[in-house]
Structure 1
Amino acid sequence: MNKEDQVMMGFRELYNKLVWINKDKMEDSLKGHKSSEVHCIEYIEKNVDSNVTKLAESFYMTRGAISKMTKKLMEKGLIESYQKSDNKKEIYFRLTEQGKKIYKIHEDLHKEFQERDKPIFEQVTEEQFDSILIFVEKYSRHLDAEIKKQGLDMKSEKMLFE
Structure 2
Amino acid sequence: MSYTDEEKIIRGFRDVYNKMAALNKQEMEAALAGYTSTEVHLIEAIHDLTHPNVTQLADTLFLTRSAVTKLTQKLLKKQAITRYQSPANKKEILFALTDEGQSVYEIHRDLHQVFRKRDQPIFATMDAQQKADLLHFLAVYSEHLDNQTANRPTTDS
Same fold (TM over 0.5): yes
Which secondary structure does the structure 2 equivalent of 1:156 belong to? coil
Does 2:84 align with 1:82? yes
By how many angstroms is 1:120 displaced? 0.9
Distance across 2 between alignment mates of 1:42 and 1:155? 25
Contact 2:66 2:156 in 1 (8 A): no
Q: Summarize deviations over 1:62-114 as a string: whole Å, max 9, x none.
A: 11111111011011000001123332111100000011110111001000000
Structure ranking higher on relative contact order (CA contacts 8 Å, 6+ apart): 1
Aligned equivalent of 1:128: 130
Does 2:151 align with 1:156? no
Aligned equivalent of 1:32: 34
RMSD, aligned CA: 1.6
Which secondary structure does the structure 2 equivalent of 1:87 belong to? coil
Q: Summarize deviations over 1:24-79 as a string: whole Å, max 9, x none.
A: 00011111101000000001011111010001111221111111110110110000
Distance across 2 between alignment mates of 1:19 and 1:76? 25
| Equivalent AA in structure 2 for residue 98 of structure 1 | E
Structure 1 residues 93 and 147, CA, compared in 2 at 3 Å: closer, same or farther? Answer: closer
| Equivalent AA in structure 1 for residue 153 of structure 2 | D
Contact 1:61 1:154 in 2 (8 A): no
Aligned residues: 155
Identity %: 42
Distance across 2 between alignment mates of 1:44 and 1:5? 35
- Within the candidate set 93, 96, 102, 1:94 is matched to 96
Distance across 1 between alignment mates of 2:9 and 2:116? 22
TM-score norm. by structure 1 comes to 0.89
**1:34-113 equivalent positions in 2, closer than 5 A:** 34-113=36-115
Aligned equivalent of 2:149: 147
Deviates more, 1:88-97 or 1:76-85: 76-85
TM-score norm. by structure 2 comes to 0.92
Distance across 1 between alignment mates of 2:80 and 2:132? 38
Structure 1 residues 138 and 110, CA, compared in 2 at 3 Å: closer, same or farther? Answer: same
| Equivalent AA in structure 2 for residue 39 of structure 1 | H
Structure 1 gaps of 5+ residues are 158-162
Structure 2 gaps of 5+ residues are none
